[in-house]
Every structure is written in structure tokens, then in C-alpha cells.
């Protein structure tokens, strides 16, 4: 990998998670040293939303999206769901997107749980529409259903997209953005997606601390691993992919 630095954006990470409690500042500095000039931190519930806001206030290159991950719903009452939505609404002027939120059928095999995910996600989508902010989608084994629920929105990001090429094309036809995580470095399926998604609709992310392209914990600096691989797949210079994905992030998130 070249030592040359490009302006790179990690469009989805969780720097607030406890995985970074011992060395958060060092992780952030490594990202900056690698050329990651912008990091978008995504909240997933009341607690992480608060911590996400704190990070965005502390660092001017960290931006916040506040969400309600479907995998959190099993432990939440309806009152807590509403409190999270109220929290997002209350901080609308501090954030650049709503999410992550969506549907995760991989971790929720029972229909009752899936029905609740749908009901809650419908509320989140309504909130995104009300606030006129991009909807950041978490969808796993439910990309088609999630797409149907957001297809009338104008600003949508499919975070860590893992669905079919067909659904991806439907999303692209609506003007949505496809974000590929660093898992692309070790997944043939995601490499197929990387080949097919047009450069002007592509975002890159780590989803750190998850989905590391290396051993152990993922971190924002490693987004360069996927940037370089995607550039190779698309037969483009890395700086072209860096420029395009950063331009796309600025456009969808109004940065």
C-alpha cells in the first residue's frame, strides 16, 4: 500500500463502544494519520446515542447519526422506544442522519419479533421523513422488506449492504447510496457488489469495532484496506475511489 494519503471518509463506525475505552484517542489518531479525515459515528440506542453526541461535540471531524438498532428491541419497552425517538427529534440539529435502524431477520427468527421490528422501523422512517434527514438502514436478511419501507424517501443509505444485486439495483434506481464495509476484504459476495455498484453511489465504512479486514478489532484506519481493494476490483486508482466516496458522503449527509 502506498504511503500517499487521500481524503477518506469512514461513513459508519461505533467509536463510542466499550471496545475503544482503553485507547479511543489513539484509534482516532491512527485514522487521521492514515488519511481518514471524516468519521461518522452511529448510535444504536439511548445510551450510545448520548455517547455519539459527546464524540461529535468533542471532535469536529466526527459527525453523529442517532438510531435504534433492531437488535436492541428485545430488551426495550414501547416507552423506551418512544423515548429514543424523542431523543433523536430533540437533537435533530446536531445530527446528519437518522439511524442506524431497520430490520434484522438473521438474529430474529420468530415472526412476533419481526413484526415489532417492522412497527418500530416504520416509526423511525416517519421520523426521518419529518426531520428531512437521511435514513441510515441496518438490514440483514431483510433488505427487500427494508427497501419497500423506505422507497418513497429521497435520502437513504444502505449501511453495510449485504443483500442481492437485484435489490441493490432497485435502491440505486431510487437514488439511494450503498455503503460497503471492510468485510469486502474477505467476502466474495461483497466483492461482487463492489464490482457492480456505480462509483457515484458508493460509500465505504468500517462498522468498527466489527467486520475487521485484519485479525481482531476493526477501527476507522482500516477503511483504507477496503478502499484499496475496491479500487483494484474497479481497476481505478485508489485516489479516484477516495475522492468519489468522500464526495458522495458530503452530498448525502450535507457535510
CATH of the domain at 225: 3.20.20.140
Looking at residue 5, what is its pLDDT? 67
Please state, rounded to an integer, the average pLDDT across all residues of the chain.
96
The length of the chain, given as a count of residues: 255
Grid cell listed for 220: 476507522
Residue 135 within a domain: yes
pLDDT digits (tens, 9 = 90+) for 111-159: 999 999 999 999 999 999 999 999 999 999 999 999 999 999 999 999 9
Looking at residue 67, what is its pLDDT? 98
Alpha-carbon span 191 to 199, nearest angstrom:
14
Residue 2 within a domain: no
pLDDT digits (tens, 9 = 90+) for 195-218: 999 999 999 999 999 999 999 999
Residue 3 within a domain: no
Beta bridge partners of 137: 101, 158
DSSP string, 97-109: EEEEEEEESSS--
Residue 228 within a domain: yes
Q: Which of 251, 218, 253, 203 is nearest to 8 (CA)?
A: 203
The arithmetic mean of pLDDT across residues 222-243, rounded, is 98
pLDDT digits (tens, 9 = 90+) for 27-42: 999 999 999 999 999 9
pLDDT digits (tens, 9 = 90+) for 3-14: 556 799 999 999
pTM of the model: 0.96
1 confidence band (pLDDT: 50, 70, 90): very low
Percentage, residues of the chain above pLDDT 70: 98
Q: Which of 248, 207, 221, 178 is nearest to 41 (CA)?
A: 207
DSSP string, 129-142: HHHT--EEEEEES-
Looking at residue 195, what is its pLDDT? 98
Residue 1 within a domain: no
Residue 47 within a domain: yes
For helices 78-90 and 46-58, give the axis angle rounded to 10 degrees: 20
Alpha-carbon span 15 to 40, nearest angstrom:
9
Contacts of 133 (CB under 8 A, 6+ apart): 92, 95, 96, 97, 98, 155
For helices 238-253 and 223-234, give the axis angle rounded to 10 degrees: 110
User: Is the separation of the CB atoms in 158 and 137 below 8 Å?
Assistant: yes
Contacts of 227 (CB under 8 A, 6+ apart): 6, 8, 204, 238, 241, 242, 245
**What's phi and psi for 142, nearest 5 deg?**
-150, 25
Alpha-carbon span 53 to 229, nearest angstrom:
32
Residue 116 within a domain: yes
Alpha-carbon span 88 to 3, nearest angstrom:
40
pLDDT digits (tens, 9 = 90+) for 53-63: 999 999 999 99
74 confidence band (pLDDT: 50, 70, 90): confident
Q: Which domain holds residue 12?
A: 8-253
Looking at residue 105, what is its pLDDT? 97
Contacts of 252 (CB under 8 A, 6+ apart): 134, 155, 157, 177, 203
Residue 91 within a domain: yes
Alpha-carbon span 53 to 92, nearest angstrom:
11
Looking at residue 62, what is its pLDDT? 98
Our count of domains for the chain comes to 1
Amino acid at each position: 500500500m502506498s504511503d500517499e494519503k487521500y481524503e477518506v471518509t469512514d461513513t459508519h463506525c461505533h467509536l463510542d463502544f466499550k471496545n475503544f475505552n482503553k485507547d479511543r484517542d489513539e484509534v482516532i489518531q491512527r485514522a487521521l494519520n492514515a488519511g481518514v479525515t471524516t468519521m461518522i459515528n452511529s448510535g444504536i440506542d439511548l445510551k450510545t446515542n448520548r455517547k455519539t453526541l459527546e464524540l461529535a461535540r468533542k471532535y469536529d471531524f466526527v459527525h453523529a447519526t442517532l438510531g435504534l438498532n433492531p437488535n436492541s428491541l428485545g430488551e426495550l419497552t414501547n416507552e423506551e422506544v418512544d423515548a429514543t425517538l424523542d431523543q433523536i427529534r430533540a437533537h435533530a440539529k446536531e445530527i446528519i442522519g437518522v439511524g442506524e435502524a431497520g430490520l434484522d431477520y438473521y438474529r430474529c427468527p420468530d415472526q412476533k419479533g419481526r413484526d415489532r421490528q417492522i412497527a418500530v422501523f416504520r416509526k423511525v422512517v416517519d421520523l426521518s421523513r419529518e426531520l428531512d434527514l437521511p435514513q441510515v438502514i441496518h438490514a440483514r436478511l431483510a433488505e427487500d422488506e427494508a427497501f419497500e419501507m423506505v422507497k418513497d424517501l429521497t435520502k437513504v443509505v444502505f449501511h453495510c449492504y449485504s443483500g442481492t444485486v437485484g435489490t441493490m439495483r432497485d435502491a440505486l434506481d431510487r437514488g439511494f447510496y450503498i455503503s460497503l464495509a471492510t468485510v469486502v476484504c474477505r467476502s466474495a459476495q461483497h466483492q461482487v457488489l463492489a464490482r457492480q455498484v456505480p462509483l457515484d453511489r458508493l460509500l465505504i465504512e468500517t462498522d468498527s469495532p466489527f467486520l475487521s479486514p485484519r485479525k481482531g478489532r476493526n477501527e476507522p484506519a482500516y477503511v483504507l484496506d477496503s478502499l484499496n481493494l475496491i479500487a483494484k476490483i474497479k481497476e481505478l486508482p485508489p485516489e479516484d475511489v477516495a475522492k468519489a466516496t468522500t464526495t458522495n458522503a458530503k452530498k448525502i449527509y450535507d457535510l
